[in-house]
A and B are shown apart, each in its own frame.
Chain A
Amino acid sequence: MAEVKVGAVLVVGGGVAGIQAALDLADSGFKVYLLDQSPSIGGVMARLDKTFPTNDCSMCILAPKLVATGRHPNINLITKGELIELNGKAGNFEARVRKQSRYINESKCNGCGLCAQKCPIEAVDTFNENLSSRSAIYVDYPQAVPLKFTIDREKCIGCRTCQEICKTKAIEYDQQDSETVLKIGSIILAPGFEPFDATQKSEYGYGRYLNVVTSLEFERILSASGPYGGLVLRSSDGEIPKKIAFIQCVGSRDAQIGNNYCSAACCMYGIKEAIIAKEHVPIKLSCSIFYIDIRSYGKEFDDYYSRAQEEYNIRFVRSRPARITEDPRTNNLYLHYVEDGDPRIEEFDMVVLSIGMQAPKNVETLAKVLGIQLNGYNFCQTSVFSPVETSKPGIFVCGAFAAPKDIPESVAQASGAAAKAIAVIASERGKEIVEKEYKPERDVSQEEPRIGVFVCHCGINIGGVVNVLEVVEYVKKLSNVAYAEANLYTCSQDTQGIIRERIEEHDLNRVIVASCTPRTHEPLFRETVQEAGLNPYLFEMVNIRDQCSWVHMHQPKEATGKAKELVRSVIAKARLLKPLKKPIIKVTPIGLVLGGGVSGMTAALELAKQGFEIHLVEREKRLGGHLRQIRYMLEGRNPAEYLALLIEEVMKNKKIRIHLNAEVTEVNGFVGNFKSKISYDNGEEKEVENGIVIIATGATEYKPVEYLYGKSSGVMTQRELEEKLAEGEFKAETVVMIQCIGARTEAQPNCARICCGEALKNALKIKEIYPETEVYVLYKDMRSYGFKEDYYREASAKGVLFINYTDDKKPKVTNKNGKLEITFWEPIINEEITLEPDVIALSVATIPNPDNKRTAEMVKVPLTKDGFFLEAHMKLRPVDFQTDGIFLCGMAHSPKFVDESLAQACAAAARAGTIICKKTLEMEGAIAHVDENFCGGCRICENLCPYRAIEMKEKDGEVTAHIIEALCKGCGICGAACPTKAITMGHFTNEEIMAQVKATLLEEVKA
């Protein structure tokens, strides 16, 4: 019997990881059920204020993804849901899901919020970390997706106020919990983490002392939409603190409470919170961070750390405070700690506990239902060579549930898990999804503008301030307005029907909606007019909610006047609107992968599993890259064995064409339509067509000049030591390892991430084979993040001595008559120590591939100032580039461990797959156009374009600019700069903009 598979995936958890996985899957042609326990998706990221290292506003960068998820036709959101039973196997599961009642009809509720304003009952607002209250009927935050209210049944007294007030009749007190069975092919787990409960560390007084807060509470305090409007205030008295202490590792690296692991993100978010606090506080604020090791190991994280010290004067104290006491009169706090061997007591106004991540609540139940294994800390069990796979086939994992991690790694892993989930059901692509069909477009070119205006009350959101009917009467008098009406909710399902009817009845050929923000609602209305046969660009939106009723809520008359002006100005623009065509480009369903290391091979293999042809180009004569030189894994697995299997699988795969001794020397074209040249060492060349490019060109090792390397045979790199250990050539009584060689220096300021792990690996190997050998590790910060902390602990337990050094007291190595001597400062006993080691192992940095510059220029993507490739967005687009169709993975991105490279390689494959799975791509219609007759060929636009969407073409001896329609995003920078005004911007022409300006400035027409 042929195996039946289902082209649908269940994603458990709607945080940023779950959202990313869902979007990648849905964009690849699979049906997605996105399940979350909460009433809305967004997870912890929705509660954060800013994100490191870019200090982007968390909600601002997350909201577009929330909206995209909520609107995606192939993503079915199941909120307040829980997985209760799973049957079947990979490819064909049946998942039983229980959905808790919201007591609200989701299809009727339009999120106007009237109910919450009138609800007499309040409850603590858990979204605001209990720092404020919300109503018993509530939505977690204004941008929540789905924007559907929920009744807190515990609190609600059933007074029926909301039912009577709700204009859409959405309240259903008798709504019951329901169960559904979903048929799916694979599952992705992204349930995230549970923040550590700080009351467990009673010595810090959390819960007793008002001014001791957790880092998550502090995020809400910092947030402009938080309880204090972004002002940093002490909970005890509402005063702005002058002196804040941050205590790191609360609930992490703590054997006492059983959380030995490092929570991986706290050092960075601690630094970030200190920086943002300083920015938010109008006075001079002193911030001190108490830490064990600062683990700023990610891409450009050390840069951020240095800025915190140098620009923001944040004080770093290497000490784990013993306890906190409180002055009951002032509620100030005394921190008891030891620095440089001396016990100290220091007074602070406020203390922030950087709480760690724990496995999600009730995870044992989930694991039991799914039949997957958990690790010793109740996180998901994975292995180093299959970082996104659970112990059960067909079930994958990403985000903090796999191991504590920050947002970019969660996002990369989520895309990676999506690739794996797709591979299971690749044959079923497109079978469970719906494609929308529109009726043929009406030609309006010969018609006078007939504008229809729909003004939204939004319940009382707009109507409570702006006199909507007055606005309607006003616009009816303006020329070309053929029809105007007010709607209670213009976005509701039935109003969409009304808009379509009015277009027919009144022969409307332009439509304007005056309501809320186009960011969330424009796509909906564009779709509506398109359903009625109008070109979507004949639609315009006016935001009279944010710009009128919200900001002028106490001036209804003025708000109404402003609403009229705004609508009037957009009507002026609408008269000039032209239908635009969205360019359709064909896609070559072939991938080109640069680099045949473990990342490149994995990316190629994942795409091949999805059925795409791949060119895998490797410069060396064989595949394998950097992993070839790795003899042991910290986690104990055999890398050679794994590599051999991987290479075999790649070689056997008929979809992958391997090009060895070869390099890609030219990449031309654009997303979906690249033409690339592969040049072989023997001088041959080959042209290939490809739809996407994945850069997996790896990195290289720093060649040390420090500490007599190359001058004394006892001084070697960790890799050389590893080889000696593997070959049985190791012999030493004393080994000293020195960390941060070629990293965290002035020339290369950032951390190389993996060297601490390598040192631990070799130290443990030595202790395993030669327990008598003494091993010293001289370090700046031991950065054994996540579960690697266990190995750090193990090494300490086995007698490896870890000694901290600083840049001003670096170790000194000399060679005295053939005998190595090393002198270093031991900070605990405060003395200089001299040893005569047999081996000095240098933990050298992983540095950018020297070829990066050439490759970057070839594919037209940027590099960081360190020389690694720079992704589209450090937080949310870790494997994409700003230029569409080009992706990134592995050490070309930054140094990383094998499991991280593997996850990222899968991610690159998933992201690339969303493009080449489509036969054609529909691009943005509102783009730039060049009138060749006016173009002077000055290249100003070419240089300004952030998307490299402009190319210069020569014709009859004249060079002119051409827009690559597929790449243009319509920002208009080129148009604004063109000296000969040869560039017009679709949908935002000069005429349209000026018509809008003139109409705005016009004195109000006296009615």
Chain B
Amino acid sequence: MFRPRIIGFVCNWALPKRIEIPSFPRMKIYPKMQVVQVMCVGRIDPVIVLDTFAKGADGVLLVGCPLPDCHFVKGNIQAENKTKILKKLLSLTGLEPERLQLEWAYATEIEPFSTIVDAFRNHIIKLGQSPLVGENSDEKILSNILAAKNAVADFSLRVLTGREEELTEAMNAYGKRIPQEEFDDLLDEIVNREFLRHKIHLLTSQKLLSVKEIATIVNHRPALILRQIADMTSKHMIALDHVEETTPLYKALEVK
């Protein structure tokens, strides 16, 4: 039977304390999920989540305190915003976004906690093994995950997630609140842009490629790829290596 490898990043304050008491049937949870305890679910850097998938997790469950009750005031809101971006990114990589889940739990209640874990585990069993596990792991998805990881490690997306709450809940620099919908549209656009650029970067760091070749690999119109290359060039992410006949070949530059 398929035994999914699930990593649970669980907030110190959402993890029921009784799990640590010997009388408690720990077996109920531990065989189902490997818990990585953190101070706050808001600590979970998207880079860590994507890395966890890259290393072979079948599912990642983030558990934090329910919305108004974050032990650290608003780490859970941060976790929510990051999960949103991560799910957008996962959908671009080809790995099922449902393999990542953010849930809330109170430290005082065991049952809801184990229900959450069970439900998630069942869902992952349904999805089956991660395509990144095993001998025949999917190279394409793996490289997409790496690109996504680089995208969330880059400045733009981090700034946007970091400031989302401030901009949509409080005020921007012009004293205006940005409607959530508008912000999400913008975020979509930038997630797409950053993922594609880091994907191109990753591909060209492995091999010199032309616009058309990249377009075929990432399944986008070559015109869009050319546009990205123009922008990436001005950001010193990529450079022309040489021209073969009528085809310019590009190589990634090391990003500082």
Contacts and interface: CB of A to CB of B under 8 A. Distances in A.
Residue of A131, A163, A464 with most chain B CB atoms under a 10 A cut-off: A131
A122 B231 contact: yes
A863 interface: no
Nearest to B250: A238
Contacts of A122: 193, 231
B190 interface: yes
Interface string A196-236: 00000000000000100000000000000001110101011
A173 B174 contact: yes
Interface stretch (A152-160, A567-575, A716-724): A152-160
A282 B227 CA distance: 22
Interface string B51-64: 00000000000000
Interface in B78-129: none
A237 B212 contact: yes
A157 B186 contact: yes
Contacts of B47: none
Contacts of A553: 236
A120 interface: yes
Contacts of A173: 173-174
Range for the number of chain A residues in contact with chain B: 35 or more
B215 interface: yes
Contacts of A228: 226, 230
Contacts of A681: none
Contacts of A210: 223
Contacts of A233: 226, 248
B240 interface: yes
Residue of A131, A156, A210, A238 with most chain B CB atoms under a 10 A cut-off: A238
Interface in B192-251: 193, 210-212, 215, 222-223, 225-227, 229-231, 233-234, 236, 240, 243, 245-248
B133 interface: no
Interface stretch (B5-13, B23-31, B144-152, B154-162): B154-162
Contacts of B33: none
A240 B245 CA distance: 8
Interface string A159-180: 1110100000000011000000
A160 B173 contact: yes
Contacts of B3: none
A159 B243 contact: no
A966 B155 CA distance: 56
A554 B251 CA distance: 15
Nearest to B227: A132
A20 B65 CA distance: 67
A132 B230 contact: yes
A919 interface: no
A236 B245 contact: no
B163 interface: yes
Interface string A790-823: 0000000000000000000000000000000000
A118 B155 contact: yes
Given A157-B172, A158-B174, A240 B247 contact: yes
A254 interface: no
A829 interface: no
Nearest to B254: A554
B15 interface: no
Interface in A225-265: 227-229, 231, 233, 235-242
Given A237-B212, A238-B226, A283-B246, A159 B231 contact: no
B252 to A, nearest CB: 12
A239 B223 CA distance: 10
B253 interface: yes
Contact of B246 (A132, A229, A239, A554): A239
A242 B159 contact: no
Interface residues of B, number: 40
A283 B248 CA distance: 12
B176 interface: yes
Contacts of A554: 253-254, 256
B44 interface: no
B2 to A, nearest CB: 41
Contact of A159 (B172, B230, B240): B172
Contacts of B229: 238
A133 interface: yes
Given A157-B186, A237-B211, A283 B155 contact: no
A210 B186 CA distance: 26
Contacts of A227: 230, 233
Nearest to A231: B248
B233 A229 contact: yes
B77 to A, nearest CB: 17
A242 B246 contact: yes
Given A231-B243, A239-B247, A132 B231 contact: yes
B131 to A, nearest CB: 31
B167 interface: yes
Residue of A131, A132, A554 with most chain B CB atoms under a 10 A cut-off: A132
B163 to A, nearest CB: 5
Contacts of B247: 239-240
Contacts of A242: 246
Contact of A133 (B186, B226, B231, B243): B231
B178 interface: yes
A100 to B, nearest CB: 15
Contacts of B227: 131-133
Interface string A66-103: 00000000000000000000000000000000000000
Contact of B223 (A158, A236, A282, A464): A236
A159 B211 contact: no
A278 to B, nearest CB: 14
Nearest to B243: A282
B20 to A, nearest CB: 42
A282 B243 CA distance: 8
A173 B174 CA distance: 6
Interface string A137-163: 000000000000000000011111101
A240 B230 CA distance: 15
24 contacts: A120-B155, A120-B157, A120-B160, A122-B193, A131-B227, A133-B230, A158-B172, A158-B176, A158-B178, A159-B163, A159-B167, A159-B172, A160-B172, A210-B223, A231-B240, A233-B248, A235-B226, A236-B223, A237-B215, A237-B223, A238-B211, A238-B212, A283-B245, A554-B253
Given A132-B230, A158-B172, A240-B248, 20 more contacts: A118-B159, A122-B193, A157-B178, A158-B174, A159-B172, A159-B173, A160-B172, A160-B173, A161-B159, A228-B226, A229-B233, A233-B248, A235-B226, A237-B212, A237-B215, A238-B211, A238-B229, A283-B246, A553-B236, A554-B254
Pairs A-B, 9 closest by C-beta atoms: A238-B211, A158-B172, A158-B173, A120-B156, A237-B222, A173-B173, A227-B230, A238-B226, A240-B246
Interface of A: 118, 120-122, 131-133, 156-161, 163, 173-174, 210, 227-229, 231, 233, 235-242, 282-283, 464, 553-554
Interface of B: 155-157, 159-160, 163, 167, 172-174, 176, 178, 183, 186, 190, 193, 210-212, 215, 222-223, 225-227, 229-231, 233-234, 236, 240, 243, 245-248, 253-254, 256
